[in-house]
Structure 1
Amino acid sequence: MSEERDFKPLNIAVLTVSDSRSLAEDRSGDLLVERLEGVGHHLYERDLLPDDIYQIRAAVSRWIAAPDCDVVITTGGTGLTGRDGTPEAVSVLFDKTIDGFGEMFRALSFQTIGSSTLQSRATAGVANRTYLFVLPGSTGACKDAWDNLIESQLDYRKRPCNLVELMPRLTER
């Protein structure tokens, strides 16, 4: 017997990290907002900040402290240059790391960009019952991550399991 489940819309914040773009030029952030709203989720808030670990950490911390923000997705600042610090800004906030996300993202990315994917420091975790996804800044990376990994895991109807059904248990001790 198959049990039908209703879609559960989530409140998702989107943060673009860039020293060179403005919100008007933020195609990766636009793509993520279009995708999340297109499937029925709600944009909680959107921001664009420079590659500054402390500004990034402050924004993400504010969202994970908000009781009505369910997910934070960042795009940008995941490379290897001196200014790329999004993983360092966000990962210290994790209560738990979702190791499989980075592994799956790089495996998926390998099909498109080959060995260049080893430069990706995409990661994910959970902090204070909020899911965090740290993505590269390219629109292709955001599209691949959302379409092939994040969207289905943020859909309560996805079987055999999904991240949404775990949400009530994230703060168990």
Structure 2
Amino acid sequence: MSAASEFVPLQIAVLTVSDTRTYETDTSGQYLVDALLETGHTLQDRNLIPDDVYLMRAAISQWIADPTIHCILITGGTGFTERDSTPEAVAPLFDKEIKGFGELFRQISFTEIGSSTIQSRALAGLANNTVIFCMPGSTGACRTAWSNIIKEQLDSRHKPCNYVGVLLKKQHKDISSIKPFCETRK
């Protein structure tokens, strides 16, 4: 089996943004941890912090600068309440925004929760060859995002496109055996 058809595990950090949850009550963060481990990725770090722009930026910036972290999954703080500030905290850190993530997440969510999906400001982007996905705080929303979008995009075998090649550049690994970030459609 060639390396291009093998699964390449990534190192992922999970951040829960909440003023009320603890690790014991954080079902969304725990879902993401369980899902990424079940898929074959490695949990590199996990944190739970209050919905504070500067605490979020500090934690995320450390992970972005860490060459061993390929992906950051963030749950919480994407709504419209006064304290929801994940988009404001994270978007300025992006080198490039992944515009399609939020739109696709809301499209899929529409089939599950109807027009309430417009209450989500889910977003994603790349910063220092680290992909960051920001999801709502509900476990159902995390399941929707992981199962329908993120899982495939973090799988080196997914065609025609995935993020693995871009993410491994952060560690300056030899990625010549991994299919390109996006193949041309045939």
d(CA) in 2 for partners of 1:65 and 1:7?
25
SS in 2 for 1:90: helix
1:150 aligned onto 2:150: yes
The answer for the alignment partner of 1:78 in structure 2 is 78
1:119 match: 119
Q: 1:3 to 1:26 in 2, by over 3 A?
A: closer
Q: Percent of aligned pairs with the same residue?
A: 57
User: What count of residue pairs does the alignment treat as equivalent?
Assistant: 170
Tell me if structure 1 keeps the 8 A contact 2:4–2:156.
no
User: Using a 3 Å threshold, how does the CA distance of structure 1 residues 37 and 168 change in structure 2: closer, same or farther?
Assistant: closer
State the match for 1:35 in structure 2: 35
User: How far does residue 163 in structure 1 lie from its aligned partner after superposition?
Assistant: 1.1
Could you tell me how far apart the structure 2 residues matched to 1:118 and 1:169 are? 35
Could you state the TM-score of these two structures normalised by the residue count of structure 2? 0.88
Q: Aligned AA for 1:53?
A: V
Q: Which amino acid aligns with 2:132?
A: L
For the Cα contact (< 8 Å) 2:16–2:75, is it kept in 1? Answer: yes
Q: Which runs of 5+ in 1 are unaligned?
A: none
Match of 1:130 in 2: 130
Q: Closer, same or farther in 2 for the Cα pair 1:3/1:66, shift >3 Å?
A: closer
Q: Does 1:141 align with 2:141?
A: yes
* Structure 1 residue 161: Cα displacement: 1.5
1:8 is aligned to: 8
Whichever residue aligns with residue 149 of structure 1, its letter is I
Q: Kindly state the Cα deviation for residue 40 of structure 1 after the two structures are TM-superposed.
A: 0.4
What corresponds to 1:60 in structure 2?
Answer: 60
Q: CA separation in 2, counterparts of 1:166 and 1:87? A: 23
In structure 2, the residue matched to 1:46 is 46
Kindly state the Cα deviation for residue 166 of structure 1 after the two structures are TM-superposed: 3.1
What's the CA shift string for 1:68-101, capped at 9, x where partnerless? 1000010000110110001110110000000000
Confirm or deny that 1:19 pairs with 2:19. Answer: yes
Q: CA–CA distance in 2 between the matches of 1:85 and 1:3?
A: 40
Distance 1:31 1:168 in 2: 25
Q: CA deviation at 1:168?
A: 5.1
1:91 aligns to 2:95 (yes or no): no
Distance 2:3 2:42 in 1: 25
TM-score by length of 1: 0.94
RMSD: 1.7
Give per-residue Cα distances to partners, 1:26-57, cap 9 Å, x unaligned.
00001000000001000010010001010011
8 Å CA contact retained: 2:70, 2:168: no
Structure 2: runs of 5 or more not aligned: 171-186
